[in-house]
Structure 1
Amino acid sequence: MMIHIKNVFLIVLLFAFSEARSQEEPTYKKRVLESTEVDILSSYYSQAGDNAAVSGGIGTEELTDVTGTIVVSIPLNDDDVLTIDAGVSAYTSASSSNVDPFDGKGSANAFVASSGASKGDNWVNLKGSYTHSSDDRNDVWSANAALASEYDYFSLGFGGSYSKLFNEKNTEASINANVFLDSWTTVYPIELRPFSDGGLGFFRPDEISGNPNYSPQFTELTKKNRNSYSLGFGLSQILHKNVQGLISIDLVQQQGLLSTPFQRVYFSDVADSFIEDFHLADDIERLPDNRFKIAIGGRLNWYLNEVLSLRTYYRYYFDDWGINSHTASVEIPVKLSDKFTVYPSYRFYNQTAADYFAPYETHLSTENFYTSDYDLSKYNAHQYGLGVSYTDIFTQLHISKFGLKSIDLKFYRYDRDTSFGYQIVTAGFKFVMD
């Protein structure tokens, strides 16, 4: 009998010990990112129009841009991911070439691109972000930093975000904040440069037609930096097993140089002066050094069936420069097979004009602020798109140690009722390390 009781006692001790060990050992959790992913992105962009801000609201807006970007996401452990995003863009612009329309071989004209050195440039960007997820995956923190540079522009940015999932992960609340510190190398229209700092210089006076007494009211800008501060809030909710909704609000405060130094303005109360066929600037664009923006948006995504989904979006925007805008878009992904999906899309946009906008040669020289940039004008715009995606979750195609997970191809056509339009083609390839 004693032996039997002793055995039972040992069994109880062993069970208690094993139970304690099982409580001490960590439970299994799925990694946020299983393995390193590499995204290779590229795009070709082409635009045209007749309202170039560089030449005061008239002239060619032709521009082409080719961009290449690589994004590498690296899992540091089960919970943390480091992402590096690097890109370069090379563009040729008929509009920016007319910062100096006289440096080419042909006669200067706002509707003809100059063939000089100012017709093209490169833009480079580098961004890094770090993301941490809690053990239960209900809390996600991230931090980021970015650098961007162009021939007349440099930008430093940093920020972070926090997301909280609750209600059995059916609800997500998020907040994000970012700061961008930008600086300009002030490049002015060529004919205004001799008048810098109130000087009495002259620009090729023997060649001036129209008003021969060319004397612009130009003075150099006193500020050469721009700071932008943004704060965003989001709330998403699974409304039904097939329906998800999102509402968001974004606040942006900008301070500093908010105009573009090489964009011309012409006054109706100043006599016109020309060299060749190019109208010499009366001044440059001048805008307030503060701007506050608010955007309120909402998304509704509806999974209709195994073949068809519906993604909708609406945003209302307003700022203290007098612009109010509405954006509405719809995208309809159609699943053709396990691997192929097509998604046609449409986007509508309209806005009111900024308080400081007026077309070519309609501003008055007595005004404090003025611009003829049609991005700040009243207009309606339509964008039509078509995308095709290929997905292979088993990554059967390999390049070295990387398997091809997906391919995305997109085409967009944009038309604005101010004679402006563009087309853009993008391609994206996602690779996963085995």
Structure 2
Amino acid sequence: MSSNDKRSIAAALAAATCSLLGSGLPAAVVAQEQPAWDFNTSLLYYGEDGNRVQDFSVSAIARRMFVDDRYLTLGLTVDGLTGATPSGAIRQDIAQTFTRPSGNDAYTVPAGDLPLDDTFKDTRVALTAGWQQPLGDTGLVNVGASASREYDYTHFGVNARYARDFNRRNTTVSAGVALSIDSLDPVGGAPMPLSEMLDVGDTGNRLGNQDKDVLDVVVGVTQVVSRNLVLQANYSYSQSDGYLTDPYKILSVVDGVFGDTLTRTTTPGMEGPSHQFLFESRPDERTKHSVYGQAKYYRDGKVLDASYRFMTDDWKIDSHTVDLRYRIPWGPERYFEPHIRFYTQSEAEFYTLSLVDGVALPRYASADYRLGNFDALTLGIKYGWTTRNDNEMSARLEWYGQSGSVPAAQLIGNQAGRDNYPDLNAVIFQLGYRF
């Protein structure tokens, strides 16, 4: 093996190890090889088929390197979201009219179409800040804060993480905690859970602003097994409390025999819903547990990155995620990285396609497809290269496909012949530039 090969292997393993540990190279190396500031920027487009959600995102991360392995990291992300999203109502063989979330207008969905709320439009600005420094000879501490603002949502968060090396720095044990305090100010006000959609201008079922808190705790261990292999394992705990309902999601109230949505009589002289719809209701607590494992393996210039995550929560959702990336060099300054990700989840215990007229209302109910049973597949490829001035650029193109189903026991009458959970396809394209 040549000295160049040895240096290449050492560099690749060092990069993989630092990525897993969340730490940088030694300060002396940083001072010799890197400038004081490092910038990582990206442009991202996400687009769903059927004129659904479109997202244009710009992000930048600036990292200031100081002596003694100290770092300041600042981040900015701006998202522009437009398009339409499923409301939760079911398809009908006749047109359906809905009151918009603002309560100031109404819209009609043609017969046979999936009811979509086409007023989905928002801009989100998110800021992050972090500080990293050594603590003793083998410890490393990170503290950070985050904030974001969109039209109807405000977020503030803080986080901290401590990592310590053992076994000649081949083993790293870490623990982290994050707390977020979020405020929701839905358009038109947050509706009372399981209250009826009312006529335009009637806000009698609306509440004021709502809040929620989220506590996340993670503990993990990273092990350098050999010169070619690094392993990582984490356990995460998440506790959410407060308003966890989606204020824009509704359910159809249907006939118990035919499964069609019941019609509704609008107040004379008023606009309003043509059928009976209720706003969804979710628990005000949610506890998640997840385990995560990752392996990075280097050989002959190639890096295989494989991970698996299992999540379970007290809403009875279980999910599995498998993620594979394989970085293949193409010459000394270019690479390709194919990517495949598979995700599957079970439905929440209160997920239901519709509510049956005459049956006592449950305490919690939601027809949000994101809480249903579905599988998702992501396929993509990333191409990266080093520019003439030693900066890094990359382009990533991915396809996302999602397919779900409604439990057969929930289908009533005519519902069995309709596409109650249509497939979703999306394209993701990202450009990155690091300098």
Q: Residue in 2 aligned with 1:255?
A: 241
Specify the code of the residue in structure 2 equivalent to 1:247. Answer: A
Structure 1 pair 198–30 and aligned structure 2 pair: CA distance change class (3 A): closer
2:43 aligned with 1:63: no
Structure 1 pair 242–347 and aligned structure 2 pair: CA distance change class (3 A): same
Structure 1 pair 318–152 and aligned structure 2 pair: CA distance change class (3 A): same
2:84 aligned with 1:73: no
Q: State how 1:283-298 maps to structure 2 within 5 Å.
A: 283-298=278-293
Distance 1:321 1:254 in 2: 12
Specify the code of the residue in structure 1 equivalent to 2:225. Answer: L
Q: Can you list the C-alpha shifts for 1:3-49, whole angstroms capped at 9, x where unaligned?
A: xxxxxxxxxxxxxxxxxxxxxxxxx9445875200111110000136
209, 214, 229: which is aligned to 1:228? 214
Conserved in 2, the CA contact under 8 Å of 1:108 and 1:114? no
Q: Residue in 2 aligned with 1:267?
A: 253
Distance 1:274 1:411 in 2: 49
Please state how far the C-alpha of 1:163 moved relative to its aligned partner: 1.1
Conserved in 1, the CA contact under 8 Å of 2:172 and 2:222? yes
Specify the code of the residue in structure 2 equivalent to 1:203. Answer: D
Please state how far the C-alpha of 1:241 moved relative to its aligned partner: 1.4
Q: State how 1:160-179 maps to structure 2 within 5 Å.
A: 160-179=160-179
User: Which secondary structure state, in structure 2, belongs to the residue aligned with residue 273 of structure 1?
Assistant: coil
Distance 1:90 1:416 in 2: 23
Structure 2 residue ranges without an equivalent (≥5): 1-26, 88-97, 256-260, 405-422
Distance 2:154 2:274 in 1: 30
Distance 1:288 1:230 in 2: 18
Q: Residue in 1 aligned with 2:18?
A: none
Q: Can you list the C-alpha shifts for 1:324-357, whole angstroms capped at 9, x where unaligned?
A: 1111121111111111110111111111110010
Please state how far the C-alpha of 1:188 moved relative to its aligned partner: 5.0
Q: Can you list the C-alpha shifts for 1:244-269, whole angstroms capped at 9, x where unaligned?
A: 11111110000000011111112235
Please state how far the C-alpha of 1:170 moved relative to its aligned partner: 1.1
2:305 aligned with 1:311: yes
Q: State how 1:116-265 maps to structure 2 within 5 Å.
A: 118-134=119-135, 136=137, 138-187=138-187, 203=199, 219-221=205-207, 224-265=210-251
User: Which secondary structure state, in structure 1, belongs to the residue aligned with residue 292 of structure 2?
Assistant: strand
Distance 1:70 1:85 in 2: 6
314, 322, 328: which is aligned to 1:328? 322
Please state how far the C-alpha of 1:377 moved relative to its aligned partner: 0.4
Q: How many equivalent residue pairs?
A: 366
Please state how far the C-alpha of 1:162 moved relative to its aligned partner: 0.9
Q: Which moved more, 1:153-162 or 1:268-277?
A: 268-277
Distance 2:123 2:181 in 1: 20
User: Which secondary structure state, in structure 2, belongs to the residue aligned with residue 375 of structure 1?
Assistant: helix
Distance 1:197 1:66 in 2: 32
Please state how far the C-alpha of 1:139 moved relative to its aligned partner: 1.7
Please state how far the C-alpha of 1:273 moved relative to its aligned partner: 2.8
Conserved in 2, the CA contact under 8 Å of 1:414 and 1:422? yes
**Scaled by the length of structure 2, what TM-score is found?**
0.75
Conserved in 2, the CA contact under 8 Å of 1:317 and 1:324? yes
Specify the code of the residue in structure 2 equivalent to 1:380. Answer: D
Structure 1 pair 204–185 and aligned structure 2 pair: CA distance change class (3 A): closer
Q: Residue in 1 aligned with 2:371?
A: 376
Structure 1 residue ranges without an equivalent (≥5): 1-27, 50-60, 206-214, 398-403
Conserved in 1, the CA contact under 8 Å of 2:200 and 2:272? no
User: Which secondary structure state, in structure 2, belongs to the residue aligned with residue 417 of structure 1?
Assistant: strand
Conserved in 1, the CA contact under 8 Å of 2:194 and 2:279? no
Structure number, greater radius of gyration: 1
Q: Residue in 1 aligned with 2:429?
A: 425
**Scaled by the length of structure 1, what TM-score is found?**
0.75
Specify the code of the residue in structure 2 equivalent to 1:240. Answer: S
Q: Can you list the C-alpha shifts for 1:113-158, whole angstroms capped at 9, x where unaligned?
A: 677xx3422111011111112574x321111111111111100011
Q: Which moved more, 1:371-380 or 1:359-368?
A: 359-368
Q: Residue in 2 aligned with 1:37?
A: 38
User: Which secondary structure state, in structure 2, belongs to the residue aligned with residue 341 of structure 1?
Assistant: strand
Specify the code of the residue in structure 1 equivalent to 2:45. Answer: Y
User: Which secondary structure state, in structure 2, belongs to the residue aligned with residue 332 of structure 1?
Assistant: strand
Distance 2:133 2:161 in 1: 11
User: Which secondary structure state, in structure 2, belongs to the residue aligned with residue 267 of structure 1?
Assistant: strand
Distance 2:398 2:250 in 1: 30
Specify the code of the residue in structure 1 equivalent to 2:264. Answer: S
